[in-house]
Amino acid sequence: MTDPRRSLAKSEISFTVNGELRKVRAYPMERLLDVLRHQLELTGAKEGCGEGECGSCSVLMNGALVNSCLVPVLQAAATSIVTIEGLSSGEQLHDLQKAFLEWGGAQCGICTPGMILAACHLLNGKPNPTLEEIREGLSGNLCRCTGYSQILEAVQEAARRRKRA
C-alpha cells in the first residue's frame, strides 16, 4: 500500500510563503497543495480536479503562476510562494480583491483565490491587457458560476485604476 507521493523519505524543506520563511517536514513528492493546506493551514488554495485543469489551486511560485496540485513540494524548496492569504494586508484588500468584490467577480468563491492570483500574474506581466489578453490569461482557471464576464470586467477595472493611480 505505498503511495507514490510517499516513495521518498520525509525531509526538511524550506521556502518563503507570503514573505515568511517556513520550514516543513514533508515527503519530497507530496503535493505543494497538500503541504500548504494541511501543514501550513493556508486553505485558500482549493483542490478542484487534482490534475492541473481547473486552476483553483493556483499559487505564485517565484512570480510564476503554478497549479500547486502538480508541484511536488521538493520543487518548491528555496522558492518564494504567494497564496491568496498573502495578497491582502490586514483588512486592506488588494486592488484585484476589491475589484472582484465590486464587479461580481466572485460568486460561489471556490475558484476565486486561484482566479485572483492568475489575474495578479497577468497584470504583473501586462499592466494594460486587452480584453482578449485577459481572456487568454485567465483561461487556465475554470469558473462554473460567472460565465467569466464579471471577472474580466473586474480585471479591466483593476488595470484602469492602477493606471490612474
Partner 1 sequence: MNTEHIVGKSVPRKEGRDKVTGRSQYVDDMVLPNMLFGATVRSQIARGHIRKITFDPDVAWDEFVIVSAKDIPGKNCIALIGDDQPCLATDVVNHPEEPILLLAHPDRHVLATAVQAVSIEHGALPGIFSIEESERRSEIIWGKDNVFKTYVIEKGDPDSVWAKADYIVEGEYSTGAQEQLYIENNGMIATFDAAQGITVWGSLQCPYYIHKALMALCNLPAEKVRVVQMETGGAFGGKEEYPSMIAAHAALLAIKAGRPVKIIYDRLEDMAATTKRHPSRTRHRTAVSRDGKILGGEIDFTIDGGAYLTLSPVVLSRGAIHAGGPYYWPSVRIRAKAVATNAPPHGAFRGFGAPQSLFAMERHMDRIAQTVGLSPVEIRRRNFLQPGETTTTEQVIREPINLGELLDRALLVSEYHSKKRRFASENPVGTNRKGVGIAAFLHGAGFTGSGERYLSSVVGVEGCPDGKVRVLVSSTEFGQGTKTVLSQIAAEALGLPYESVSIAQPDTREVPNSGPTVASRTVMVVGKLVQSAALGIAQTLILSRLLHEGYSADEFRTACQQHVAKHGQFRCWSRYEAPSGIFWDDEQYRGEAYAAFAWAVYIAEVTVDLTTYSVSVDDFVALQEVGKVLHPTLARGQIIGGVAQGIGFSLYEKVIWQNGRMQNGQMTNYIMPTSSDLPPIRVFFEELGNVHGAYGAKGIGELPMDGPAPAIVNAVEDALGVPFDSVPLLPEDIMDRLNMDGLNKDGLAASLEQHNASSAAEADD
Beta carbons of 71 and 32 less than 8 angstroms apart: yes
Candidates 12-20, 72-80, 121-129, 144-152; binding stretch for partner 1 (CB under 8 A): 144-152
Locus of grid cell 468563491: 109
Task: Give the residue with the Cβ less far from partner 1, 55 or 78.
Answer: 55
Number of residues that bind partner 1 (CB under 8 A): 59
**For strand 20-26 and strand 11-17, is the pairing parallel, antiparallel, or unpaired?**
antiparallel
- What single-letter amino acid sits at 76? A
The closest of 86, 149, 89, 148 to 120, measured between CA atoms, is: 86
Mapping DSSP to helix (H, G, I), strand (E, B) and coil, where does residue 100 land? helix
Among 17, 151, 158, 159, binds partner 1 (CB under 8 A): 151
User: Binding of partner 1 at residue 8 (CB under 8 A)?
Assistant: no
CB of 149 to partner 1, least distance (A): 5
Minimum distance, C-beta of residue 6 to partner 1, in the bound complex (Å) = 7
* Residue (of 162, 74, 86) closest to 122 by Cα position: 162
Query: Is residue 109 a contact point for partner 1 (CB under 8 A)?
Result: yes
Query: Applying CB under 8 A, which residues contact partner 1?
Result: 1, 3, 5-6, 37, 42-51, 53-54, 56, 83-85, 87-88, 93, 97-98, 100-113, 116, 134-136, 138-152
